[in-house]
Each structure stands twice: as structure tokens, then as C-alpha cells.
């Protein structure tokens, strides 16, 4: 007789991403890239979304801290 091996339960998916540690120059390049993307997105006002919601969708939480994301939004808003 053959017995089926019990499967291991699937571990829960972690939603809280740890911040990625990138080398300084790469991090600053990405900062500039996402800042430019945010400025482009904020250039045309969106009828249903606030600038904060747009920033939330564009800027990845896994790469940038909350403070950095707030700073980006401030910089992008100031340039208009």
C-alpha cells in the first residue's frame, strides 16, 4: 500500500515589505526617477485622486521610507 505524503501548509504571505538596502548612488538615481514620474503624474490634475493618492500608487514602499515618500511628494508639488 502506498501512503500519500502530507503537504506542508503554505506559509502566510507577508505584506509588510522590509525596506530594500540599495547602494547609495542607485538609491539616489531611483529617487530622481520616481520623483520625475511623480512630477509628470501631478502635471495633469486627476479628477478622482488627490496628489497623496497618486504618490501612494507611484512610489514603491519597499524602496523608499515614509519620510522619503513625503519629501518626494513635497518636492513634486513645489515644482508646479
Written in H, E and C, the secondary structure of 1-53 is CCCCCCCCCCCCCCCCCCCCCCCHHHHHHHHHHHHHHHHHHHHCCCCCCCHHH
What is d(CA 7, CA 3) in angstroms, rounded to the nearest whole number? 12
How confident is the model at residue 17, as a pLDDT?
52
Cell triple for 70: 513625503
How confident is the model at residue 16, as a pLDDT?
54
Give the three-class secondary structure for 69. helix
Q: What pTM does this model have?
A: 0.60
Cell triple for 66: 515614509
Where do the domains of the chain lie? 24-78
How confident is the model at residue 44, as a pLDDT?
84
Taking only the tens of pLDDT, the chain with its 80 residues reads: 667 777 777 776 655 555 666 677 888 888 888 888 888 888 887 888 888 888 888 888 888 888 888 898 888 887 65
How confident is the model at residue 78, as a pLDDT?
79
Amino acid at each position: 500500500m502506498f501512503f500519500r505524503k502530507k503537504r506542508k501548509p503554505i506559509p502566510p504571505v507577508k505584506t509588510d515589505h522590509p525596506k530594500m538596502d540599495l547602494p547609495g548612488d542607485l538609491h539616489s538615481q531611483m529617487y530622481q526617477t520616481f520623483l520625475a514620474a511623480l512630477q509628470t503624474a501631478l502635471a495633469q490634475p486627476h479628477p478622482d485622486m488627490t496628489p497623496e493618492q497618486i504618490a501612494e500608487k507611484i512610489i514603491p514602499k519597499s524602496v523608499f521610507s515614509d519620510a522619503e515618500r513625503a519629501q518626494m511628494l513635497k518636492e513634486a508639488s513645489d515644482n508646479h
